[in-house]
Amino acid sequence: MRGIVNQMQGLLLAGRYRLGESIGRGGMGRVWRAHDEVLHRTVAVKELTAVQYVPEGDRAVLFARTHAEARAAARINHPAVVTVHDVLEYDARPWIVMELVEGCSLADAVKDKGRIEPVEAARIGLWTLKALRAAHAAGVLHRDVKPGNVLLANDGRILLTDFGIAAIEGDSTITRTGEVVGSVDYLAPERVSGANPGPASDLWALGATLYTAVEGNSPFRRTSPIGTMQAVVTEEPAPPEYAGALGTVIAALLRKDPDSRPTAEAAELMLAEAAEGRRPSAGPAYVPTQVHTASRQPQTSHQHTPQSGTVAPGGGTGGSGSGYGAGHGSGDRTMVTAATGNGPGSAPHHSGTVVQGAHHSPYDTGYDTGSRPKRRKWPAVVAVVAAVVLLGGGGLGGYLYFQESADGGTSQSSAGGPGKTVGGIPADWHRVKDAEGFSLMLPKGWVREVDGSQIDYTPDHGRHFVRISVDRRTTFESPYTHQLELEKNLRTKLPDYKRLQLDQNTFRDRQGALWEFSWTAGANDTTAGPRRAISQSYISRDGVEYVLYMSSPEGDWDKARTQFDAILRGWREG
């Protein structure tokens, strides 16, 4: 990986764009800082790398999407949209040359600060909406508005980027029947149902983005794509606790029915008032119309500011490192292991405080959106089932499906005690801060055991356990390719090995892989007989590869699998 990057530095494209360092990487491509030797300016160059991992027949679609991204952005003349300068061909692939924005993404800012203050979030939303209005006026739907695609420039500008899956009015050459594209927890309900999206779908995504900005977590994020889509269609978000005057706008934008959402013009007025610290006059504060017995666990803002850096339009922050390998711990505790770093090496963790309260939903802001013609309603259950069919059942990996994240959960009770949950985590669990810098929520009575480089937490010396592996020097292209390599080793080592699933996904806004398998443990192992295991791996923005793994006897798997989902929800890197 590093070798390829080093080889490409200094490469001259189209006789004028000389590549510098790699400044970002996402699921579809890599972004480079480059120098335009004709106009003597610094630019960003987006390379399409996903073509290396897709079947030959799908490459034409990727190429078409890259050209469509350039065409979509080029049609929009607005200071809040990242400017596309050029499109060129090199190595039989299209490359996009665009404006270089120095700063960070909204996703990075939320990660670094925990939350964005409501007035600042309203300003960010206002300029993002201005960009969307310009795009809609040009006949372009963005279709992937999310915190990672909103750039916060060091000079104070707000820019919308990555029109890679934009829909251009009158252009149907790059979409395929039954295809759902976009980041799942920012998809509008009508898009999950398979209906044709309109500008209101982008406004929904803006509402979910603003919710994430002020609360520090996505409103509909669950531990699986299907769970997330079901939440988008059937559930109301937990009431925002830190939105202030922005809460009215968020509630209006997140109405399930697209016809009941405010128009872009009305939303812009509401955001402008919120950006001045005033509660928008178009709608009062939240008025609960239905009460569910649920509560949530808010995140606490970190007391430091995001580091300035270079934002690569259409790409994430880069990372590097080396790999982990498959091996055996003591007894049957077999898993994908990682070389643990030397010492904590992480910033102190500011843990959140559990706040119990009623989850009120849905909300009525009292906002009148006018007399738009009503479209036929779609049943919620039918919508989710349709989405499952469109996405091919359980196989939700693949390059055309972009899940934003998978670390949330469904809250079920506001009261503490056995069987009750807070934010999808059992209320009687507690947060454990590990010496390696991460923390996680665990049942009481689980103890830490170290086996070489493996960090385990177990209630019974390994019969049931969760294992955390940390690799600060991973060199693999992606967690998915890493897991495939590890699986080759396990197939020969584990009796009766059977893959149950191994799919690419996105966890905490980062590329990851979810792997579940079963095998038969031997008589000399901690637990003889059938066992199952599951792991969620991902590479953080700092380039650290984390693997969260859980294993138990087959007969206890239902309980262990539920515990694993709760552990994912409570996971913190530092």
pLDDT one-digit tens code per residue, 345-387: 333 333 332 222 222 222 222 333 333 333 434 444 444 444 4
Q: Exposed (0-12), middle (13-18) or buried (19+): which is 71, by Cβ within 10 Å?
A: middle
Among 255, 217, 256, 212, which residue's Cα sits nearest to residue 124? 212
Distance in angstroms (rounded) separating the CA atoms of residues 211 and 194: 24
> What gap in Å lies between CA 270 and CA 213, rounded to an integer?
17
Cβ-based burial of 269 (10 A; exposed 0-12, middle 13-18, buried ≥19):
middle
Identify residue 37 by its one-letter amino acid code.
E
Tokens of 20: 């510098």
Enumerate the CATH 3.30.200.20 domain ranges in the chain, comma separated: 2-99
* Per-residue buried b or exposed e for 280-319, using 16+ beta carbons within 10 Å of the residue's own CB: bebbeebeeeeebebbbbbbebbeeebeeebbbbbbbbbb
Residue 278 is encoded by which pair of tokens? 């005033």
In the chain, CATH 3.40.1000.10 covers 318-353+409-570
Distance CA 245, CA 280 (A): 7
| pLDDT in single tens digits along all 574 residues of the chain | 454 556 788 899 999 999 999 887 765 678 999 999 999 999 999 887 665 555 666 667 667 767 776 777 777 888 999 888 888 888 877 788 989 999 999 999 999 999 999 999 999 999 999 999 998 988 888 888 999 999 999 999 999 988 755 554 444 433 433 344 557 889 999 988 877 788 999 999 999 999 999 999 999 998 888 888 889 998 999 999 999 989 999 999 999 999 999 999 999 999 999 998 888 865 543 333 333 233 333 333 333 333 344 554 444 433 333 232 333 333 344 333 333 333 323 333 333 322 222 222 222 223 333 333 334 344 444 444 444 433 433 333 332 333 333 333 333 333 344 556 666 789 899 999 998 889 999 999 999 988 666 789 999 888 999 999 988 888 888 899 899 988 988 888 899 999 999 988 888 768 889 999 999 988 766 678 899 999 999 988 888 899 999 999 999 999 999 999 999 988 998 6
- What is the CATH number that goes with domain 2-99? 3.30.200.20
From residue 343, alpha-carbon distances to 7, 259, 339, 461 in Å are 33, 54, 12, 24
What CA–CA distance (Å, rounded) separates 82 from 256? 30
Hey, which residues are catalytic here?
A: 144
Residue owning tokens 């960010």: 124
> What is the enclosing helix (H) or strand (E) of 61?
helix 56-74
How far, in Å, CA of 361 to CA of 388, rounded?
A: 25
Per DSSP, which regions of 5-105 are E strands? Answer: 12-13, 17-25, 29-36, 41-48, 84-90, 93-99, 101-105
Sequence length of the chain is: 574
The 3-state secondary structure of 386-412 reads: HHHHHCCCCCCCCCCCECCCCCCCCCC
Work out the number of other CB atoms within 10 angstroms of the CB of residue 90: 14
Sequence ranges of the chain with CATH classification 1.10.510.10 = 103-303+378-390
Tens digits of residue pLDDT in 226-235: 888 889 998 9
Classify the C-alpha dihedral 416-419-420-424 as positive or negative: positive
Q: Which class does domain 103-303+378-390 fall in?
A: mainly alpha
Residues 6+ apart with CB under 8 A from 130: 78, 80, 268
Domain 318-353+409-570 belongs to what architecture? Answer: 3-Layer(aba) Sandwich (3.40)
Closest CA to 469 of 391, 544, 385, 574: 544
